[in-house]
Amino acid sequence: MKTRRHAKTIAGAAALLIVAAAPGGAAAAAEYFPLRNVRLLDSPFREAQDRDIDYMLALDPDRLLAPYLKQAGLPPRAENYPNWESTGLDGHIAGHTLSALSLAFAATGREDVQDRLNYMLDQLERAQKANGNGYLGGVPDSAKLWKQIAAGDIRAEPFSLDDAWVPWYNLHKMFAGLRDAWLYTNSTRARDMLVAFADWADRLTSGLSDDQMQTMLRTEQGGMNEVLADVYAITGDPRYLALARRFSDRKLLDPLLAGVDELDGLHANTQIPKVIGFERIAELGGDDDWHRAAEFFWEDVVDERSVAIGGNSVEEHFNDKHDFSTMITDVQGPETCNTYNMLKLTRRLYGDDPELRYVRFYERALYNHILSSQDPATGGLVYFTPMRPEHYRVYSQVDQSMWCCVGSGIENHVKYGAFIYARDGDALLVNLFIPSRLTWPEQGLVLRQENGFPDTSETSLVFESDARLRLRLRYPAWAVAERPVLTINGKQQAVAAAPGNYIELERDWKKGDTVRLELPMRVHAESLPGGPDYYAILYGPIVLAARNAPLDGEAPDFYADDSRMGHVPDGPMCPLEKVPVFVAASPDFARHVRRVGAGELRFRFSDAGNSKAFPATDLIPFFRLHRSRYTIYWPFSTPEKLQLTKSTADEDTQ
Ligand SMILES: [Zn+2]
Distance CA 554, CA 560 (A): 17
Measured in Å, residue 553 CA sits from the centre of ligand 1 at 31
Measured in Å, residue 374 CA sits from the centre of ligand 1 at 13
Q: How many residues are present in the chain?
A: 654
Residue with the bigger pLDDT between 253 and 4: it is 253
Confidence at residue 647, expressed as pLDDT on a 0 to 100 scale: 72
475-491: per-residue pLDDT in tens?
A: 999 998 777 899 999 99
Percent of the chain residues topping a pLDDT of 70? 93
2 pLDDT exceeds 90?
Answer: no
**Letter string b/e over residues 490-504, b meaning 16 or more CB atoms within 10 A of that residue's CB:** eeeeebeeebebbbe
Strand, helix or coil for residue 624 = helix
Measured in Å, residue 439 CA sits from the centre of ligand 1 at 34
Measured in Å, residue 361 CA sits from the centre of ligand 1 at 20
Measured in Å, residue 567 CA sits from the centre of ligand 1 at 10
Measured in Å, residue 344 CA sits from the centre of ligand 1 at 14
Q: For 549-566, what is the mean pLDDT?
A: 90
Are 193 and 136 spatial neighbours (Cβ–Cβ below 8 Å)?
yes
Q: Within the chain, what is the greatest distance between any pair of CA atoms?
A: 79
Are 293 and 256 spatial neighbours (Cβ–Cβ below 8 Å)?
yes
Strand, helix or coil for residue 647 = helix
Distance CA 440, CA 392 (A): 43
260-297: per-residue pLDDT in tens?
A: 999 999 999 999 999 999 999 999 999 999 999 999 99
Measured in Å, residue 403 CA sits from the centre of ligand 1 at 7
Residue 346: CB partners within 8 Å, gap ≥ 6?
Answer: 298, 358, 361, 362, 365
Measured in Å, residue 405 CA sits from the centre of ligand 1 at 4
Measured in Å, residue 60 CA sits from the centre of ligand 1 at 21
Measured in Å, residue 316 CA sits from the centre of ligand 1 at 9
Measured in Å, residue 643 CA sits from the centre of ligand 1 at 42
- Rounded to a whole number, what is the distance in angstroms from the first to the last CA of the chain? 63
Confidence at residue 333, expressed as pLDDT on a 0 to 100 scale: 98
Percent of the chain residues topping a pLDDT of 90? 86
Q: Which amino acid would we find at residue 542? A: I
Measured in Å, residue 144 CA sits from the centre of ligand 1 at 28
Measured in Å, residue 341 CA sits from the centre of ligand 1 at 10
Confidence at residue 498, expressed as pLDDT on a 0 to 100 scale: 87
Measured in Å, residue 336 CA sits from the centre of ligand 1 at 6
Work out the pLDDT band at 500, boundaries 50, 70, 90: very high
Q: Which amino acid would we find at residue 211? A: D
Measured in Å, residue 22 CA sits from the centre of ligand 1 at 37
Work out the pLDDT band at 553, boundaries 50, 70, 90: confident
653 pLDDT exceeds 80?
Answer: no
Distance CA 640, CA 380 (A): 45
Confidence at residue 496, expressed as pLDDT on a 0 to 100 scale: 86
Confidence at residue 650, expressed as pLDDT on a 0 to 100 scale: 63
168 pLDDT exceeds 60?
Answer: yes
Measured in Å, residue 312 CA sits from the centre of ligand 1 at 12
Measured in Å, residue 338 CA sits from the centre of ligand 1 at 7
pTM check: above 0.75: yes
Residue 60: burial class (beta carbons within 10 Å; 0-12, 13-18, 19+)? middle
Confidence at residue 8, expressed as pLDDT on a 0 to 100 scale: 42
Measured in Å, residue 339 CA sits from the centre of ligand 1 at 9
Are 293 and 348 spatial neighbours (Cβ–Cβ below 8 Å)?
no
Measured in Å, residue 333 CA sits from the centre of ligand 1 at 12
Work out the pLDDT band at 21, boundaries 50, 70, 90: very low
16 pLDDT exceeds 70?
Answer: no
Nearest to 220 by CA among 338, 305, 377: 338
Number of neighbouring beta carbons within 10 Å of residue 437: 17
DSSP code of residue 559:
B
Measured in Å, residue 184 CA sits from the centre of ligand 1 at 23
Judged by average pLDDT, the poorest of 30-44, 394-408, 490-504 is: 490-504
Measured in Å, residue 53 CA sits from the centre of ligand 1 at 19
Are 266 and 247 spatial neighbours (Cβ–Cβ below 8 Å)?
no
Measured in Å, residue 260 CA sits from the centre of ligand 1 at 26
Measured in Å, residue 401 CA sits from the centre of ligand 1 at 12
Nearest to 342 by CA among 305, 302, 304, 307: 302
Measured in Å, residue 335 CA sits from the centre of ligand 1 at 6
Residue 228: CB partners within 8 Å, gap ≥ 6?
Answer: 175, 198, 201, 240, 241, 243, 244, 247
Distance CA 233, CA 214 (A): 24
143-156: per-residue pLDDT in tens?
A: 999 999 999 999 99
Measured in Å, residue 507 CA sits from the centre of ligand 1 at 46
Nearest to 373 by CA among 364, 382, 363, 365: 382
Residue 171: CB partners within 8 Å, gap ≥ 6?
Answer: 95, 136, 137, 139, 201, 222, 224
Measured in Å, residue 386 CA sits from the centre of ligand 1 at 14
Measured in Å, residue 630 CA sits from the centre of ligand 1 at 21
Q: For 308-326, what is the mean pLDDT?
A: 97
190-208: per-residue pLDDT in tens?
A: 999 999 999 999 999 999 9
Confidence at residue 5, expressed as pLDDT on a 0 to 100 scale: 42
Measured in Å, residue 532 CA sits from the centre of ligand 1 at 26
Nearest to 20 by CA among 371, 286, 361, 337: 286
Measured in Å, residue 383 CA sits from the centre of ligand 1 at 6
Measured in Å, residue 471 CA sits from the centre of ligand 1 at 37
**Which residues pair with residue 31 across a beta bridge?**
423
Measured in Å, residue 524 CA sits from the centre of ligand 1 at 30
Work out the pLDDT band at 88, boundaries 50, 70, 90: very high
Confidence at residue 345, expressed as pLDDT on a 0 to 100 scale: 98
Measured in Å, residue 368 CA sits from the centre of ligand 1 at 17
209-256: per-residue pLDDT in tens?
A: 999 999 999 999 999 999 999 999 999 999 999 999 999 999 999 999
Measured in Å, residue 388 CA sits from the centre of ligand 1 at 19
**Letter string b/e over residues 515-536, b meaning 16 or more CB atoms within 10 A of that residue's CB:** bbbebebebbbbbbbeeebbbb
Distance CA 570, CA 393 (A): 9
Confidence at residue 557, expressed as pLDDT on a 0 to 100 scale: 87
Are 429 and 472 spatial neighbours (Cβ–Cβ below 8 Å)?
yes
Measured in Å, residue 68 CA sits from the centre of ligand 1 at 22
pLDDT mean across residues, the chain? 93
Confidence at residue 616, expressed as pLDDT on a 0 to 100 scale: 81
Q: For 347-370, what is the mean pLDDT?
A: 97
Measured in Å, residue 317 CA sits from the centre of ligand 1 at 12
**Which residues pair with residue 467 across a beta bridge?**
509
Measured in Å, residue 44 CA sits from the centre of ligand 1 at 23
Measured in Å, residue 3 CA sits from the centre of ligand 1 at 35
